[in-house]
């Protein structure tokens, strides 16, 4: 079994090396699973006891090493807030849960192989894999960072057809190529010809070349409709661990205003500031925000820009007379309070729009599974959130300027959900404003991956990405996924860019993860086949 674990580790290495932000390595995803499939085939055909257990352990080893190598940076934030033991407990969500679900997909594949032919079994494997990815973006322990189709974020010229399929199209593409290469290799190694090698080679060539050709053609031919809007993004570079220590909220606001003025032409329509840019040690009461000095200063600042709007992250709260949401906590007798990681739109009228982050980070911003996990509230409270978790809203909302421009206020973690971001566009957003704070992870690949993933949202919806990071990478990405401007790590910066607004809806925007829904159906059918006895 030692050689088989070496093959499993080889798969993990190939998948890690292919993952963003390592440049020009994405095509390695096409062979990343081949060594693992070879090891599993050797187990299936070999003289081993407990074959199902061995298949599970091999695939879990691949998933665990691959995940840990790609998202090691998650532990940086955990370790900053929690004791070592608690950090290891919370780390089970990103580091162990994903590999466990991956291993279950391969275990289901093995169960199908015992009863059905290899093609039907491979269909089950791909279906189980996509079911794992879909589950991992929808339940309370969601962490879709490692969705396989995300791996092409650094090679956006090859996946322009994501405007039809989204990232699940990339997942299917990667699996098809891996399976075909495995079949060709295995037949050559075993000197068998169950399936015509020439036929398989032709199918493999078509599966690789056709999508690439279509994508490159679409990339070179795509032209944006000219509909300009002037945008400024600000990166204040405030250490998130000292946000309420060495620098006051007024000083933070001074930095934002000064940086904005340095680059903003008079026709600037949106100033985009990062996650929690507007804050105070106790938060901002949304109902009384106009009474805060920060609001007065921003309102005065906008007088310099005739069509100006400030779209900013904000730490806010609301007070109720009764418990209006599951996350609202009793503050005093007859008084309940709900905290939000939010965004706000401030214009030159008296109108204020708030958006409450919906996709909350498990453990840090929400308690997974609500009351079922109530015994862990004291632990999660130390991870930067509140003991009851942040409040949220069920559906995204669009911020409209006085001139009618629709902006999608996407907060940090939400930008890795393709289907959720598409809902903003469907609701009328003409560009996507990502406000984030990637400084928690220090100078690691986490900030680079997060920036690269934004390119996928640009392609899926054909919208400009306007990205403002507190400490991370800020910048502009056009409708083809090209990075037009970006800031450096750990420097204060402000960038100004004329973008093109878009009102057209792509196929993906309208139908979202249609491919995933189809494979969920075939996954259900594959589960049924596990309990059906095949005819001889």
Q: Return the SS3 of 88.
A: helix
Measured CA distances, 511 to 170, 395, 426 (Å): 16, 16, 10
Task: Supply the pLDDT for residue 198.
Answer: 84
Task: Supply the pLDDT for residue 384.
Answer: 36
DSSP 200-250: HHHHHHHHHHHHHHHHHHHHHH------EEEEEEEE----GGGTTTTS-HH
Q: Per mean pLDDT, which range of 76-80, 168-172, 363-367, 428-432 is the poorest?
A: 76-80
pLDDT, mean over the chain: 90
Task: Supply the pLDDT for residue 371.
Answer: 54
pLDDT at position 104 over 90: yes
pTM of the predicted protein model? 0.93
Alpha-carbon distance of 424 to 465, in angstroms, equals 13
pLDDT at position 343 over 90: yes
Residue 327 token pair: 């996350």
pLDDT at position 306 over 70: yes
Cα dihedral 365, 315, 428, 304 in deg (nearest 10): -160
Q: What residue spans of 237-374 are helical by DSSP H?
A: 249-263, 293-302
The 10s digit of each residue's pLDDT in 189-247 is: 777 766 677 889 999 999 999 999 999 999 999 999 999 999 999 999 988 877 767 78
Alpha-carbon distance of 456 to 458, in angstroms, equals 5
Q: Which residue has the higher pLDDT, 376 or 144?
A: 144
pLDDT at position 387 over 50: no
| Highest-confidence segment of 76-90, 121-135, 355-369 | 121-135
Percentage of the residues of the chain whose pLDDT score is greater than 70:
88
DSSP 127-161: HHHHHHHHHTTTSTT--GGG-GGGGGTT-GGG-TT
21 cis-preceded (ω within 30 degrees of 0): yes
Task: Supply the pLDDT for residue 91.
Answer: 63
Average pLDDT on 443-467 reads 96
The 10s digit of each residue's pLDDT in 19-77 is: 999 989 999 999 999 999 999 999 999 888 899 999 999 999 999 999 999 998 887 76
Cβ atoms of 463 and 457 within 8 Å: the answer is yes
Residue 524 burial (CB count, 10 A):
12
Task: Supply the pLDDT for residue 500.
Answer: 98
Q: Return the SS3 of 292.
A: coil
Match 């938060």 to its residue by tokens. 283
Q: Per mean pLDDT, which range of 4-13, 217-226, 371-380 is the poorest?
A: 371-380
Alpha-carbon distance of 305 to 145, in angstroms, equals 38
Tell me the chain's radius of gyration from C-alpha atoms: 25
- Find the angle CA(253)-CA(359)-CA(503) to the nearest 5 degrees: 80
* Rounded-to-5 percentages of helix, strand, coil across the chain: 50, 15, 35
DSSP 379-436: HHHTTTS-TT-----SS---EE-TT--EEEEEEGGGGG-HHHHHHHHHTT-SEEEEEE
Measured CA distances, 377 to 79, 96, 202, 235, 410 (Å): 18, 21, 56, 33, 27
Alpha-carbon distance of 497 to 487, in angstroms, equals 13
The 10s digit of each residue's pLDDT in 459-511 is: 999 999 999 999 889 999 999 999 999 999 999 999 999 999 999 999 999 99
Q: Which residue has the higher pLDDT, 272 or 85?
A: 272
Measured CA distances, 253 to 53, 236, 264, 276, 451 (Å): 57, 9, 16, 11, 25
Average pLDDT on 301-330 reads 84
Superfamily of structural domain 228-358+393-502:
Carbon-nitrogen hydrolase (3.60.110.10)
Domain spans of the chain? 2-222+514-529, 228-358+393-502, 359-389
Task: Supply the pLDDT for residue 78.
Answer: 63
Q: Per mean pLDDT, which range of 8-17, 111-120, 239-248 is the poorest?
A: 239-248
Q: How confident is the model at residue 375 (pLDDT cuts 50, 70, 90)?
A: very low
Residue 477 token pair: 């990405």
Cβ atoms of 264 and 271 within 8 Å: the answer is yes
pLDDT at position 87 over 90: no
Alpha-carbon distance of 351 to 52, in angstroms, equals 61
What kind and span of H or E run contains 437?
none
The 10s digit of each residue's pLDDT in 167-176 is: 999 999 999 9
Average pLDDT on 377-400 reads 67
Task: Supply the pLDDT for residue 369.
Answer: 63
């Amino acid at each position: 079994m030692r050689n088989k674990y070496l093959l499993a580790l080889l798969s993990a290495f190939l998948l890690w090396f292919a993952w963003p932000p390592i440049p020009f390595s994405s095509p390695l995803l096409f062979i990343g699973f081949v060594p693992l499939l070879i090891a599993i085939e050797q187990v299936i055909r070999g003289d081993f006891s407990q074959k199902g257990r061995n298949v599970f352990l091999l695939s879990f080893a691949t998933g665990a090493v691959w995940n840990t190598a790609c998202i090691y940076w998650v532990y940086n934030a955990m370790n900053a807030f929690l004791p070592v033991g608690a950090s290891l407990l919370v780390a089970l969500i990103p580091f162990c849960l994903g590999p466990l679900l991956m291993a279950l997909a391969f275990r289901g594949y093995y169960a199908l192989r015992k009863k059905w032919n290899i093609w039907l079994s491979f269909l089950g494997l791909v279906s189980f894999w996509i079911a794992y990815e879909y589950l991992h973006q929808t339940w309370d322990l969601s962490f879709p960072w490692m969705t396989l189709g995300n791996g092409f974020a650094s090679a956006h010229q090859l996946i322009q057809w994501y405007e039809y399929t989204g990232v699940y199209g990339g997942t299917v593409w990667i699996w098809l190529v891996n399976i075909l290469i495995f079949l060709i290799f295995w037949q050559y190694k075993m000197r068998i010809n169950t399936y015509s090698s020439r036929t398989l080679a032709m199918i493999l060539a078509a599966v690789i070349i056709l999508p690439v050709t279509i994508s490159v053609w679409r990339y070179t031919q795509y032209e944006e409709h000219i509909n300009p809007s002037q945008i400024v993004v600000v990166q204040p570079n405030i250490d998130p661990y000292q946000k309420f220590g060495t620098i006051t909220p007024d000083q933070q606001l001074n930095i934002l205003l000064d940086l904005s003025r340095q680059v903003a032409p008079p026709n600037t329509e949106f100033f985009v500031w990062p996650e929690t840019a507007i804050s105070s040690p106790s938060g901002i009461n949304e109902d009384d925000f106009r009474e805060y000095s920060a609001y007065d200063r921003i309102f005065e600042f906008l007088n310099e820009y005739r069509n100006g709007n400030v779209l900013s992250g904000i730490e806010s709260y609301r007070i109720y007379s009764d418990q209006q949401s599951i996350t609202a906590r009793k503050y005093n007798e007859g008084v309940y309070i709900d905290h939000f990681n939010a965004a706000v739109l401030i214009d030159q009228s008296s109108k204020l729009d708030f958006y409450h982050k919906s996709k909350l980070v498990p453990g840090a911003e929400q308690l997974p599974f609500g009351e079922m996990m109530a015994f862990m509230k004291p632990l999660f409270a130390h991870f930067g959130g509140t003991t009851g978790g942040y409040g949220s809203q069920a559906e995204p909302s669009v911020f409209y300027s006085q001139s009618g421009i629709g902006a999608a206020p996407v907060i940090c973690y939400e930008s890795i959900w393709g289907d959720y971001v598409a809902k903003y566009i469907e609701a009328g957003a003409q560009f996507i404003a990502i406000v984030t704070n990637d400084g928690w992870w220090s100078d690691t690949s986490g900030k680079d991956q997060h920036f690269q993933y934004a390119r996928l949202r640009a392609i899926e919806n054909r919208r400009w990405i306007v990205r403002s990071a507190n400490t991370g990478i800020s910048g502009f990405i056009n409708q083809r996924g090209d990075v037009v401007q970006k800031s450096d790590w750990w420097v204060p910066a402000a960038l100004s860019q004329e973008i093109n607004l878009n009102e057209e809806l792509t196929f993906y925007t309208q139908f979202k993860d249609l491919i995933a829904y189809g494979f969920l159906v075939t996954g259900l059918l594959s589960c049924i086949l596990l309990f059906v006895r095949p005819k001889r």
